[in-house]
Structure 1
Amino acid sequence: MALKQTTGVVIKVFDHGESDKIVVLYGPQKGKLAGIAKGAKKSKKRFSNKLELFSRLEILFDERPRGGLVQITEAELLDSYINLREDYDRYIGATLICELMNYWTKENDPDKHVYDLLTWALQELNRSDLSKTILIFFQVKLFTLLGYKLHLDSCILCGTTGQSGVPYGFLPSRNGLICTGCRPSIDPRDMISLSLGTIRLLQNAQELPLEKLNRLRFSKSSIKEALLLFRAYGQYLLQREITVWNFILGKQQAASFSPDR
C-alpha cells in the first residue's frame, strides 16, 4: 500500500516502549491523527528533534486497513515554534491549547478553520509576550467554531442588557449572563463575575477576524475574569479537569469553581 502524506501540529506525544513514540497531530486534511513512530527515540536522522509537542510537521504514514494507529515512517519539520519551549508562560499557554485540541477534536474529522486557529495561536504565542490574552482569543474562537459560542448579549433570566458599572455573573451551566437583579437567586459559587468591560471585550473578540484581534487590549482584571470564565465553562462542558489551568491561574483561583455542584 502506498504511503500517504499529511501536515499537522503535534498536540500530544509520549514514549511507547523502549524505542517508539506515540504522536497525535491535528491537521487540515485528516483532523486528529494518532500514529506510532517506530524507533523514534533512537533515530538520529528520520525523527531527531522533530516529534516534539507544538511542532508543525509534514509526515509520511502507512494507514492500516483495520484502523487504529497509523505508522509514521518519515517527518519533515515545518515549524518548531522554539520560543514555546524556552519561556514558561508561553510553554504552559501552548500546553493548554494542545490539551484543548486533544479533548475537543475527533479523529478523521478535519476542520480547516480549527486548524488555522491552532496555527495562528501558536504563531502568536511564539512571537508575543501577551500569552494570556492569546489564550483568551483562542478560546473565544474555538468555542464559537465548536458550536458553544458564549451568549453575552443579555441576562438569560430577565433579558436585561448591559448597564455601565453594573457587574454581571456568567453561569457556565446555562452559557449566559446573570444580571445584578437576578444574581441573588443563583449560588455565587456557580458563577464567574464579569465586568461590563470584560463582556464588551469578549463580544468584540467574537466578531473580529484573527488578524485584527491584536487591536483589543485587556486589563489585568479583564484577563483574570476571562480566563476564569473559560476555565469554568470548559470544565463544565468537558466534565473534567485540565491540570495545566492550575499553573495558568494559580491553584487558589483554579479551585474557586466546581462544575459538579
Structure 2
Amino acid sequence: MDTRAKTDECLILRGRDYKESDRLLIVFSRRYGKFSCLAKGVRRANSKLKAGTQLFSYSRLTFTAGKSLPLVTQGEAVEARAELREDLTKIACASYIGEVLDAVLPENKPQEGVFVLAAAALTLLGSLDEPFLLLSCFDLRLLAALGYRLNFDVCAACGRSTQGKTFYASPERGGVICAGCQGRLTDVYGEHFQPPRLSAGACRLLTGLLNWELRRVFKVKAAPAMRQEIDTALAFYLAYYLGAPAVRARKNLSVYYKV
C-alpha cells in the first residue's frame, strides 16, 4: 500500500495478539485484496478500533502506511457477526473460510468475486444451524472463482449424462467420469486407485450448489450418505487444485465439526 490513507470494506479473516496491546490482522479488502496489517492499541479497553477489528466481522477500515505493515487508523463494524464468535461450530466453520482464503489468495491482488462470496457465506453462517451445504457451496464457488469451475452434468470423458448413473470425481478433467470411462482411464492415478464415487443425486446437488441463489441452502436437505459422498469428493477436488493448505484447513475443521 502507498503512503496515502485508504478506506475500504474488509473481512477480518484471522488475527493474533502482538506485543502488549496490539493485534496483527489478516484482512480481505474488496478493492485491495488480502493483506496483513497492524491494529495498534486495539486490545486496550477504550480502543476505538476494537469493534471494527473483531474476528470475522465485515468492517469499514482506514489504513495508512506503517514501517513494515499498514496501520489501521479507523474502523467501524458494518456487520459485527458476534454469533460467529460465540458458538464452537460456527467458530470452526468461519475459521475454515478464513484459513482457506488466507492460504490461497495472493497478497494485494483484488478478488471482488471471492470477496462477495466470502462475505455472503459468513453472513449466512451466522443464521444456519447446519452449515454443511453452505461450506460445500463455498468450496465449489471458490474453486470456480479461481478458475476451476467443475461440471457435474455429464461425463468429462465421453459426454454421457449423469442422470441415474454412478460417477467418479475427476479433478484432472474438471468434473466427473462415468464407470465405463473410469475402468479405461487409469493414466492419472494408476489402475489400483479408485477416486471418490458420486451418485446421480449427489451430482444434481453439486450442480445446484454451484448455480442456486446462495440462500437456498436454508431450504435444502441432504441425507447423511449423500453428505459423506459430497464431503469426500470435495476434499479430493480441493487437495488436487489447492494442495496442502486446503487439506490442512479441512483437517483443522474436522476437529470441531463432523459431517
What TM-score does the superposition give when structure 2 sets the normalisation length?
0.84
- Correspondence for 2:126: 126
In structure 1, the gaps of 5 or more residues are 255-261
Residue identity matched to 2:199:
S
154-163 or 110-119, which moves further after superposition?
154-163
CA deviations on 1:173-202 (whole Å, 9 max, x unpaired) are 433212122333545645121111010111
Question: What SS does the corresponding residue of 1:127 show, helix, strand or coil?
Answer: coil
- Correspondence for 2:153: 153
Higher relative contact order (CA 8 A, sep 6+): 2
88-97 or 120-129, which moves further after superposition?
88-97
- Correspondence for 2:63: 61
Does the alignment pair 1:77 with 2:81? no
**Alpha-carbon contact 1:93-1:132 (below 8 Å) kept:** no
Residue identity matched to 1:142:
L
Does the alignment pair 1:243 with 2:242? no
Q: How does 1:81-230 map to 2 (within 5 A)?
A: 81-164=81-164, 166-185=165-184, 186=186, 187=191, 189=193, 191-230=195-234
**Alpha-carbon contact 2:32-2:110 (below 8 Å) kept:** yes
- Correspondence for 1:234: 238
CA deviations on 1:14-48 (whole Å, 9 max, x unpaired) are 22333322111112222213211223333532233
Runs (4 or more) in structure 1 with deviation over 6 Å come to none
Q: In 1, distance between residues paired with 2:19 and 2:85?
A: 25
Question: What SS does the corresponding residue of 2:53 show, helix, strand or coil?
Answer: coil
Question: What SS does the corresponding residue of 2:155 show, helix, strand or coil?
Answer: coil
Aligned length: 250
The alpha-carbon distance between structure 1 residues 74 and 162, as it changes in their structure 2 partners (threshold 3 A), is same
In structure 2, the gaps of 5 or more residues are none
The alpha-carbon distance between structure 1 residues 45 and 159, as it changes in their structure 2 partners (threshold 3 A), is same
Q: In 1, distance between residues paired with 2:233 and 2:140?
A: 11
How far residue 81 of structure 1 moved from its aligned partner, in angstroms, is: 1.4
Q: In 1, distance between residues paired with 2:87 and 2:149?
A: 31
Q: In 2, distance between residues paired with 1:249 and 1:48?
A: 30
227-236 or 171-180, which moves further after superposition?
171-180
Residue identity matched to 2:98:
C
**Alpha-carbon contact 1:9-1:27 (below 8 Å) kept:** yes
Q: In 1, distance between residues paired with 2:4 and 2:250?
A: 42
Q: In 1, distance between residues paired with 2:48 and 2:241?
A: 39
Q: In 1, distance between residues paired with 2:252 and 2:63?
A: 35
Q: CA RMSD in A?
A: 2.7
How far residue 213 of structure 1 moved from its aligned partner, in angstroms, is: 4.7
**Alpha-carbon contact 2:96-2:252 (below 8 Å) kept:** no
